[in-house]
């Protein structure tokens, strides 16, 4: 039985709070516990997709001191210790929508080389992904500059490969669910997130070939 209670419209409005400490307080008190429950509900369902356990990690934003976060999430990685070094999935919330993403961060040195090889060798076929919602490639891991994958041509593909190779760039592909969609307000979001991750999982399986030691 799912624990996740859904997001209220007030949860989305937390990202309108301008003051750093007040927004962080609301995130920690109201949103992070919901993300933790969503992570606990979703993680066991993801193991068959990945071929090994995926552990949930709720974002802490511990390095922030001045600018409040514009989004927050629960990430699923193969390490019990963290997620930034590894290819992972994220389910998160910002002002206007819930997002579900496949992410390789710039510091994801464990998987980034394999991702670069995969994008170069597969070309446009790497984006042969399907979901009821449009799937976007993003310029960074916070959903900046969404570009629909169905519009990617050879020229855009070369740009994506080159950006991914830059040390300070990562790779992000995902979908959004508007805050006005009733599905975000209840446990059905767990199923919707699972379905979206299913459609993004070919990228994960292509670059994470063998389960690695948890916590390595």
The 10s digit of each residue's pLDDT in 197-210 is: 999 999 999 999 76
Residue 214, in any domain of the structure: no
Please report, for the domain that includes residue 88, its CATH number. 3.30.930.20
75 domain residue, yes or no: yes
In a domain? residue 30: yes
Residues of the domain holding 55: 9-207
Q: Residue 57 falls within a domain, yes or no? A: yes
Contact 184, 133 (CB under 8 A): no
Residue 97, strand partner residues: 178
CA distance 116 to 174: 18
Decide if 212 is inside a domain. Answer: no
pLDDT value of position 30: 95
Q: Is 5 exposed, middle or buried (0-12, 13-18, 19+ CB in 10 A)?
A: middle
pLDDT for 26-49, tens place per residue? 999 999 999 999 999 999 999 999
Return the number of other C-beta atoms located less than 10 Å from residue 50's C-beta. Answer: 20
Mean pLDDT of 11-22: 96
- Could you report the per-residue pLDDT of 123-170, keeping only the tens digit for each? 999 999 999 999 999 988 778 889 999 999 999 999 999 999 998 999
pTM as predicted:
0.94
From the number of C-beta atoms within 10 Å of its C-beta (0-12, 13-18, 19+), residue 38 rates as: buried
pLDDT of residue 66: 79
């Amino acid at each position: 039985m799912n624990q996740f209670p859904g997001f209220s419209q007030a949860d989305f409005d937390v990202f309108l709070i301008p003051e750093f400490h007040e927004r962080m307080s609301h995130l920690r008190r109201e949103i992070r516990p919901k993300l933790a429950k969503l992570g606990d509900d979703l993680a066991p369902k993801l193991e068959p997709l990945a071929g090994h356990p995926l552990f949930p990690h709720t974002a802490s934003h511990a390095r922030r001191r001045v600018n409040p976060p514009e989004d927050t999430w629960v990430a699923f990685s193969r390490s019990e210790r963290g997620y930034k070094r590894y290819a992972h999935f994220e389910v998160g919330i910002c002002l206007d929508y819930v997002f579900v993403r496949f992410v390789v961060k710039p510091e994801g040195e464990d998987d980034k080389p394999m991702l670069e090889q995969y994008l170069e060798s597969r070309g446009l076929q790497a984006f042969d992904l399907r979901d009821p919602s449009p799937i976007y490639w993003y310029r960074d891991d916070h959903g900046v500059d969404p570009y629909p994958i169905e519009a990617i041509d050879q020229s855009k593909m070369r740009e994506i490969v080159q950006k991914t190779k830059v040390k300070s760039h990562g790779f992000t592909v995902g979908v959004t669910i508007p805050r006005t969609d009733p599905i975000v307000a209840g446990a059905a979001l767990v199923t919707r997130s699972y379905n979206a991750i299913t459609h993004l999982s070919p990228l994960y399986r292509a670059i994470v070939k063998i389960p690695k030691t948890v916590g390595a």
